[in-house]
Amino acid sequence: MSLGIGIIGLSGSGRTTIFNALTGNNAETGGFGAASAAHIGMAKVPDDRLDAFTKLFNPKKTTPAEIQYLDVGASVKTLAKGGGTAGQLLTQLAGVDALINVVRAFEDPAIPHPSGSIDVARDIGEMNLEVAFSDLAIIEKRFNRIASSIRGAKPEEKPRLLAEQDLMHRLRDQLEKDIPIREQKLTEEEDHLLVGYQFLSAKPLITIVNIGEAHLSRSKQMEIELNQKFAQPNHRVIVLCGKLEMDLSGLDKASKMDFLKEYGLEQTGLERVIQASYELLGLISFLTVGPDEVRAWPVTKGSTAQKAAGKIHSDIERGFIRAEVIGHKELLECGTIAEAKKRGLLRLEGKTYVVQDGDVINFLFNV
Ligand SMILES: Nc1nc2c(ncn2[C@@H]2O[C@H](COP(=O)(O)OP(=O)(O)OP(=O)(O)O)[C@@H](O)[C@H]2O)c(=O)[nH]1
Ligand SMILES: [Mg+2]
């Protein structure tokens, strides 16, 4: 199962354009409008280490890590109203691990803004309201259920239900004060309890401000300012031009770099979105290398070697003996695994070793 990010935003903000640029899909833009079916696609995670090892090993195949993106094509408000496929789309959205809110900042008289004018702060506020509204509806339903459970509960079950009721009260009070759940202070235990609820406002959030080409030279400064203005835990603002990103995604690396340099940028907006997605999801990559395949594998930060082995195959996790591990820098310096062994840089690690970002791993297993 891959981790997924859901794209939300007001109609016509450029959601599908950005989805296409991220995933290389070619979904129809402009007028997807009413909720029908969601677009789902995979984005490849850019990784310099993978490029370096591909040069070194010249493998038959290079496989980057991937993240799944979901463009539901309707506002949260529309989905929450229900009817048609809305309920199904809302369930799909509830299942993602993080959200991207696309906010329109590009001017184009041919494409009317649903609220009549461009206003980034207003649109961010509106989306926060929609998301809070959807979470409040879940809380209301839960209140009713807890209340009836309490009536029929055995004495030993009551404290847990009362604690949950109390938590729902606090979540609701703060949501009504415009504080999304991701910004609310909760204990680890409460955080854990909330996982099952799939609250939208509890998910990490990337706000993409979709600017027009004319403002591209100001994008870096804008991004710094907006990140200061909207600095919140598990939230990041990225400023990019969706239309341009779509064009850039078709170019080779060298042409892309030339273009970016003109605007004083080091990375495309999409690369920054994918990287931020990776970070907000708490992911790191370990690598496997060899003549057949050089590959990056996403794992959550703090994963043990045995758990990481399971990403490749459940047999390797079950029959785990040991992991041969070397940092990517060390291996690049050595040039070959044999040389790394000779220099004593290849470490043997056990089940509980905590995998580090960029570790090159060979699992020894027995099935
Ligand atoms: N000028 C300009 N137009 C853009 C930009 N990004 C998207 N558009 C245009 O805006 C229109 C809407 O873009 P979409 O990507 O379809 O937006 P959406 O949010 O998916 O819209 P719906 O799903 O139709 O509600 C399309 O005609 C796009 O070509 C941009 O950066 N600049
Ligand atoms: Mg769309």
Render pLDDT for 308-333 as a digit per residue (tens, 0 to 9). 999 999 999 999 999 999 999 999 99
* 312 Cα: distance to centroid of ligand 2 (angstroms): 34
Kindly report, as residue ranges, where domains of CATH 3.10.20.30 are found in the chain.
302-365
Quick check: 219 pLDDT over 50?
yes
Paired with 207 in beta bridges are 101, 237
Number of H helices, E strands in the chain: 15, 12
* 44 Cα: distance to centroid of ligand 1 (angstroms): 23
- The CATH superfamily of 4-118+202-280 is P-loop containing nucleotide triphosphate hydrolases (3.40.50.300)
Alpha-carbon distance 165 to 346, whole Å? 53
* 32 Cα: distance to centroid of ligand 1 (angstroms): 10
Backbone phi, psi, residue 293, to 5°: -150, 140
Confidence of residue 79 (pLDDT cuts 50, 70, 90): confident
Mean pLDDT of 109-128: 91
Confidence of residue 1 (pLDDT cuts 50, 70, 90): very low
Quick check: 191 pLDDT over 50?
yes
Site to probe by mutation for ligand 1, drawn from 15, 25, 29 as the one with most ligand atoms within 8 Å of Cβ, is: 29
Of the candidates 31, 14, 20, which has an alpha carbon nearest to the alpha carbon of residue 238?
A: 14
Pull the structure tokens for residue 278: 């990776």
Confidence of residue 112 (pLDDT cuts 50, 70, 90): confident
Confidence of residue 36 (pLDDT cuts 50, 70, 90): low
Out of 23-37, 131-145, 160-174, 283-297, which region has the weakest mean confidence (pLDDT)? 23-37
In Å, what is the CA distance from 197 to each residue of 91, 99, 142, 366? Answer: 11, 16, 9, 39
Ligand 1 pocket residue status of 242, Cβ below 6 Å: yes
Among 70-74, 108-112, 139-143, 361-365, name the most confident range.
361-365
Confidence of residue 260 (pLDDT cuts 50, 70, 90): confident
Quick check: 170 pLDDT over 80?
yes
Ligand 1 pocket residue status of 32, Cβ below 6 Å: yes
Among 7-16, 263-272, 348-357, name the most confident range.
348-357
From atom 5 of ligand 1, which residue's Cα is the shortest distance away? Answer: 243
Confidence of residue 138 (pLDDT cuts 50, 70, 90): very high
Quick check: 26 pLDDT over 70?
yes
What per-residue confidence (pLDDT) applies to 2?
57
CATH fold of the domain at 302-365: Ubiquitin-like (UB roll) (3.10.20)
Q: What is the pTM of this model?
A: 0.89
From atom 25 of ligand 1, which residue's Cα is the shortest distance away? Answer: 11
Quick check: 353 pLDDT over 90?
yes
Ligand 1 pocket residue status of 243, Cβ below 6 Å: yes
Confidence of residue 166 (pLDDT cuts 50, 70, 90): very high
* 242 Cα: distance to centroid of ligand 1 (angstroms): 8
Quick check: 35 pLDDT over 70?
no
Ligand 1 pocket residue status of 114, Cβ below 6 Å: no
Judge contact between 178 and 132, C-beta under 8 A.
Answer: yes
What per-residue confidence (pLDDT) applies to 3?
64
Quick check: 104 pLDDT over 90?
yes
Confidence of residue 33 (pLDDT cuts 50, 70, 90): low
CA atoms within 13 A on the CB side of 217: 2
Instruction: Name the residue with higher pLDDT: 273 or 112.
Output: 273
Ligand 1 pocket residue status of 247, Cβ below 6 Å: no
* 14 Cα: distance to centroid of ligand 2 (angstroms): 7
Mind giving me the DSSP string for 203-251? Answer: S-EEEEEE--GGGGGGHHHHHHHHHHHT--TTEEEEEE-HHHHHHHTTS
Of the candidates 292, 287, 278, 291, which has an alpha carbon nearest to the alpha carbon of residue 311?
A: 287
Pull the structure tokens for residue 29: 């833009």
Kindly report, as residue ranges, where domains of CATH 3.40.50.300 are found in the chain.
4-118+202-280
